[in-house]
Amino acid sequence: MKTRAFLAAACAAAAFSAAACGSSSSSPSSTSSSSGPSPTSPTTTPAGAVRTTTITITNSVASPKDIIVTRGAQVTFINNDNQSHNMTSDPHPEHTDCPEINSVGFLSGGQQRQTGNMVTNRAVCGFHDHDLPNVAGLQGSISIQ
Ligand SMILES: [Cu+2]
């Protein structure tokens, strides 16, 4: 009986912290479109996206974070960090939006790899570091135009 009561209390605590976490993530500001927990692909190209096919990671920040490529192009992720990164498609943890990005995957420090040819039907593909899924600096997007 004591165990049952404890479990109920733990469950309530977990539910409470999850709710608090969720409410803090929904910022009223519309300036940061693709940052925050539980990365999902944006539906439109974020403001400030630049046309390039190279994204470089330094000090756990991907730059540029939002890019635009031609349909069928490949994107090169360069890990110039001193730690590994595991670059995958949104959403986390399914990685199903744009499987082309999953070709990059695990990059040791100093490594680089290309995505597959970006031929998805989506207009915008979000990406994140699967091992650090809530780090906003490692989230970004590839718009296909
Ligand atoms: Cu993930």
Residue pLDDT tens, the chain, 145 long: 444 444 444 444 444 444 444 334 433 333 344 445 578 999 999 999 999 999 999 999 999 999 999 999 999 999 999 999 999 999 999 999 999 999 999 999 999 999 999 999 999 999 999 999 999 999 999 999 9
Give distance in angstroms: CA of 93 to centre of ligand 1.
4
pLDDT at 37: 59
Least Cα distance to 130 among 94, 88, 100 occurs for: 88
The Å distance, Cα 136 to ligand 1 centre, comes to: 13
**4 Cα–ligand 1 center, Å:** 34
CA 82 to ligand 1 center in whole angstroms: 20
Residue 63: closest CA among 144, 145, 126, 140: 140
Q: Give per-residue pLDDT as tens, 19-52.
A: 444 334 433 333 344 445 578 999 999 999 999 9
Ligand 1 center from residue 145 Cα (angstroms): 25
> What would the two tokens of residue 133 be?
């899924």
- Considering only the top CATH level, what class is 50-144? mainly beta
Tell me how far the alpha carbon of residue 52 lies from the centroid of ligand 1, in angstroms: 23
Domain boundaries, the chain: 50-144
Q: What is the dihedral of CA 131, 134, 135, 141, to 10 degrees?
A: 90
3-state DSSP call for residue 138?
Answer: helix
Confidence (pTM): 0.75
